[in-house]
Structures are given as structure tokens and as C-alpha cells.
Structure 1
């Protein structure tokens, strides 16, 4: 008789012994999601909370950017105060040891506000530690706690003031993405048709990140910017959350050339679980499609260079995500109708279903060592090499 099926288990057709092995591995391994929007998701947030948040936000509906950002901010505060117990429960059910906690560096106001929001998460939860070194992550695992890695996806707030990077590093920033979708002072994002690569300032920026021991992230970078970063960096380069262009040719996916370049630095390619970016039909995207992207990277550059950066589902509410897709996403470089909304990958509707990654890798025949690397070991290796 097989193990009793758990909530959220995707049907991989595993035998009882495979299920036992997957359970053991998921419990033993250090599992890292390097674009961890959770632990909450629309499906994990009580309806009463959703209605309460909507009531608080309604007066700001005529200010689209404010209205769109408010729900996640309110959810963070409610979670910190203990009003959303699912925050801790979902994280622990997921088995994720470490996930990023994201700063927003769009402008000075968002930088300061998000620093407060991120620090609030650490200050209000004695089970959540700020990961400054790899040992912080290992210690969290040993002590039954969780680790948050401070990251950012934008750089606009910095302008050309590289001294701000020192201050952010002091706060705990350990991973920084060079560009988002569009052009900035550093280089071209993946939505830029010009594919301009790193600027002269961008080269200095990468050098400063190397000096500060902040990991260079190319997740949203354009092709030439990614290649330039790999050539310029003296440390491993990552793509925290992306996909494989050869499987699904979306602007957010990486070419074989980019994947090889990142791997050649000793870096890691994190595969996301965003339905619109991994498969042609977002309404029928499953975790098998996500695993296909992981498997492609393994075949191309080896199991030492792939990890997970789901980026989905958001710690947000269904009505807010629909608003974001209709009113905000086009301003961020996404094509009309493309990008974040309410669709989810079957098998990862909630972060508490994260063990499906381990179960799927077992089903595909990977060894214990390979699974440990993919589920977090590769991220931990790069983190230790660069951050200590």
C-alpha cells in the first residue's frame, strides 16, 4: 500500500518506495527557492482577509500603481502581526529552507519602504533569520527555522551612486538583478529590442558587486547584457528565475548561449513556475512542464548549474492580480495579456505543494545527490562561494 496521498500531491505515478524516498529527501535536503514570492498565495489566504484588504484599498483605486501595490504590503503587515497564521504554516508545510525576501529599488521611496517591510518580517518572526552567509542557511536548517535571503530585481533607485550599494549590503542585500525588462543605466532588459548589453557604467556596477560580494543576477536581463555580465564578472553569475528559450521562446527565457555562459562562470540557472513563460497554454501548464525546463538545462550544462526560482504564485490576492495584469503589467514591459494574473502551474497552486519538485525529480530518475543539488545545493554553493 502506498503512502496516504497528501493535499496538493501531483500525480507522478510514483510507487510507494519512491514516495518514501521523495519524502525523506525533501525533509533532509536544504531546499531553496530563489524567487520566493510566498509563502502565501491567493489560494492560501482566507477569503475574510481578502475582503478586508479590498475594503482598505478601494479608496485608492484611482491611483493604479498605489492600488496595485497595497494588497501585498497590507498582507505583509497582517502576517507580521500574526493575523494571518497561514504565513508560517504554509512556509513550514512547503519544506522550503530558504527563500528570498525582496527589496524594491524602483525609486528612493520604494527602497526605504521595502527595507522597512523586509526588516519587519525578520523582526516579527523568531523562526525567520536573515541569511548573510551560507552558514546562516545551514544553521536555520539544523534549528528548524527558515532563512530569508535579501535580494532586489531593480536598480533605478541607485542612479549612479555606487555608495548606496555599500549601504544596501550592510542591510543584508546579497543578490541584485542588473536590469528588469526595460533599459536602465546598467544595460538592456529582456524586453528591449535593441539588445544593447552592458553600458560602461554597467561594467563598473558589476565590478562593484564583485567587490562587495553581492551575487550578480541576470534573470530579467537581455541576451547581450547576460553575456556581457558573464564576461565581466569575476564571480559566478546567476539567473534567479528564468526558463529555456529552446522549449518556449518567450522574452523571459534564456538561449542556450546564455545558459552555457552562466554555467561557465560557475553559476546557476533558476527555473521559474510562471504559466505564461514556460508553456504555450497558461491554463493547462503543469509542474511537468517546469521540470522539462530543469531537465533541458541539466542535459545542456549539467546538474551543477540548475536550481529553482518559482516567482509564482504571488503573495497577493486574486482580484489584485487581475488588476495588475490589466493596468500595471503593460507599463513594466509585458505584452498586453501577458504576464502575472490568476493562472497557476498545476502542482504548485500553493507553496505548501513545493515537495512536488522533489517528487517529480524522483519520478524522472535523478539520484539523491543530483536532487539535493537541484533543490537547493547549487544555490547554496554559489552563495557560500561569493557571500561566505
Structure 2
């Protein structure tokens, strides 16, 4: 493991003894990224593959949503065909025990399509990637040297008012569901919604049904009142899978102190993201230290038991597609012009293979072995054990 951390080390000015400690902890701990866009990323995808994808996608350029989403789908198909060994190599290089595999619930077509895409990953990599339905599945994966995929989703639009579909998705393996994605929907108001309306009456029933099924309530992209309402209504821990601290950087995607404390009050976890545009004012010069500042803040405010990691970056995509996404797709999703995913990365997390820098950074900041284990994955695992069983 120490050799893996040598490559791409962010300069935390650790002593050799600290480096050895970090390597040991990263190897021993159950490390979880609850917004794991990878394992591939622009810098981990061979240039020849990126060019091939561009040629395959070019005929769909006049269909923005299709054109934008196609590279990620094609990468999965290439992995399934055995053409992308980097998929497994980069996941193992990262040391991440478990990361989410995301469903898209925009409408019925995307629900069915993404279920196929997600299942293909599990079926193709069945010898090393398992679907986590219980917390024990993650522990077992760690013990056997395999990886665990957590099925999640970030939007609920495609469900309409059909709560029965939640049971079907749970049977498929859905275990974490975000209530809103930036904008208003039937459940509640997203973080980009000026009205800040909170949960609807239907949204209250929606949260109660998630509790009954054992699906974690996620408020990552939710508006302030929706987050507070979810924490009030839910009988199980509520999380924010990927967010930041509003007091450190006042972006709509970040949470106020009140929200952070509300999530912690349910026994939930606030996952800190590594998005260059959302944690610091200069995306081109955002570093892992800036990300760790957000972790430190939550620890001081709410306690070390209530913070985790949900990087949300780097995305499993190619550079030309990310540029197109920022220019043509992000504004449709409620992001301000020029905001949202593009080509910048956090210095220290240019690829997922450098995820060990999180452990190194926590060592540099003086956290104990026990607290590092909690932040790197133990807190998420505690929530999963409470909600999933």
C-alpha cells in the first residue's frame, strides 16, 4: 500500500513515520466514498479511448442530453467487453472499499436504462465487485479483498407519485435516495429553488416510505428547509451524501450550520465533496487542504461521528464531454452559468488512485487512528447498519 501512496502524493510534509502510519491506516480501514463518480476519470482514461468515444458520440451532437451522457455509458460497455482494465486497476489503486453506483430516476426511460447500466457493472465484475444490500456486505468485501457497490440515486422525478416503485427499486438494490436535485419537484425544494419551500405533504409520505423500506434519506442537493424538514420527519438517520460548509464557502450546494447540526441530530452523516467550484473561490487552485478544512469544520461543529466523504469528483467521463456538459447541460440542472463540473480537479485528487491522500491529510491534521477510521468510512457504515440492517 505504501508504494501506491508514493505516486501522486499531495505534499502534507509528513514524516516517514507518519507516511507509514497513513499507509497502514488506509490499508486497514473500510474506506467509503458515497459520491464515487469513478473509478475512471479524465486523467485515468487513455487518450486513444477518449478520441474513440468522441467519434462514436459525434453523430448525436444535436441531441444535447444524449450526447452528454453517452461517453459514461460507453465506458461501462467497454469495461464489460474487457477493453478497459483501468476500471478495476484504478478502483484498487484508490484503496476505496465501497463506492456508490448511481441510478438515474429522471423518467421511466432513464430508470430502466440506468438499471441495466448499473447491473452490467456488477455482472461483468462479479468476481471482485459485489452489490451492497446490507452493511455486512461491505465488511465481507473488505475481508475478501473485493469491492462493494452501493446503489444510489440523486433524483426522484421519474417516480411521480408512485410510491410502489420505491419497493421495486429497493428490491433491485437501491439503498440511498436523494430527495431533490437542485430544483423543485413533487417531494420538495432543491438548493437552487428560491422559494425554499421544504417538503411537500407528499414529500413527508415519501420520507416515511423510505424509512419503512430501509433506504437512506439523502439531502445532498436539497434546499435548507427541505433538509430541515427531512431531519424532523425521518425516524432514521438522514445524510447529506455530498456537500460542503456554507460558512467556509457560501455556495448553494453547501449546508448551513443549522442543517449540519440537524443531520447530526438524526444520527446521520455529512459527506464532504471535493468539487473545485463548491469548496473554494478559485477552482483552478483548489487543493485537498481546502476540502479538509470543511471536514475539520464539521468535526468542530457537530462532532467526529457525523462527517464522511462523498467526493463527487473527478467524474467518470472524458475531458471534451465535461466541457460540453458545463456549457450546455449544467444550466438546465439549476447551476449558474460557468458553474459546475468541468476540467478542473482538486489538487491531490486528480484521479481516484490518489484517494489515499485523504488519509494522509487526516494524519497531517492530527486525527487519531480511531477518528480517521470513522471519517474515512466508519461513520457511513454505522448509518448503513442502522438503516439497512
**Normalization by structure 2: what TM-score?**
0.99
Aligned residue number for residue 190 of structure 2: 189
Contact 2:5 2:354 in 1 (8 A): no
- Number of the residue aligned with 1:98: 98
| 1:305 Cα deviation from its structure 2 partner | 0.1
User: CA separation of 1:353/1:4 partners in 2, compared to 1, >3 Å: closer, same or farther?
Assistant: closer
Tell me, yes or no, if the aligned pair for 2:190 and 2:223 is still in contact at 8 Å.
yes
Task: Name the SS of the counterpart of 1:239 in structure 2.
Answer: strand
Aligned to 2:303: 302
**Is residue 171 of structure 1 aligned with residue 172 of structure 2?**
yes
User: Which runs of structure 2 are paired with 1:103-118 in the superposition (5 Å)?
Assistant: 103-118=103-118
- Structure 2 CA distance for aligned equivalents of residues 153 and 216 of structure 1: 11
Q: Can you give the 5+ residue segments of structure 1 that lack an aligned partner in the other structure?
A: none
1:77 paired with 2:77, answer: yes
Question: 5 Å matches for 1:345-384?
Answer: 345-384=346-385
- For residue 82 of structure 1, report the CA deviation from its aligned partner: 1.4
Equivalent residues in 2 for 1:146-157 (5 A)?
146-157=147-158
Whole-angstrom distance in 2 between the partners of 1:81 and 1:231? 47
Aligned to 2:203: 202
Output the aligned Cα RMSD.
1.0
Q: Tell me how far apart the structure 1 counterparts of residues 208 and 34 of structure 2 sit (CA, whole Å).
A: 23
Indicate the residue corresponding to 1:247 in structure 2: 248
**What is the CA distance between 1:3 and its match in structure 2?**
8.2
How far apart are residue 208 of structure 1 and its match? 0.2
Q: Scaled by the length of structure 1, what TM-score is found?
A: 0.99
Instruction: Report the CA distance between 1:6 and its aligned residue.
Output: 1.4
Aligned equivalents of 1:244, 1:86: Cα separation in 2: 33
**Does the 8 A contact of 1:3 with 1:19 survive in 2?**
no
Matches within 5 A, 1:1-388: 6-125=6-125, 126-388=127-389
Does the CA-based 8 Å contact 2:330-2:340 persist in structure 1? yes
How far does the alpha carbon of each residue in 1:123-167 deviate from its partner, in whole angstroms, 9 at most, with x for none?
Answer: 000200000001000000000000000000010110000000000
Could you list the per-position Cα deviations for residues 5-35 of structure 1 after superposition, in whole angstroms to 9, with x for gaps in the alignment? 7111000000000000000000000000000
Match of 2:181, SS state, is coil
- Rounded Cα–Cα distance in structure 2 between residues aligned with 1:111 and 1:58: 24
Change (3 A) 1:280 1:171: same
Question: After TM superposition, where is structure 1 displaced by more than 4 Å over at least 4 residues in a row?
Answer: 2-5
- How far has the Cα of 1:74 moved from its partner? 0.2
CA distance in 2, matches of 1:63, 1:215: 34
Q: Distance in 2 between matches of 1:184 and 1:301?
A: 30
Alignment: residue pair count: 387
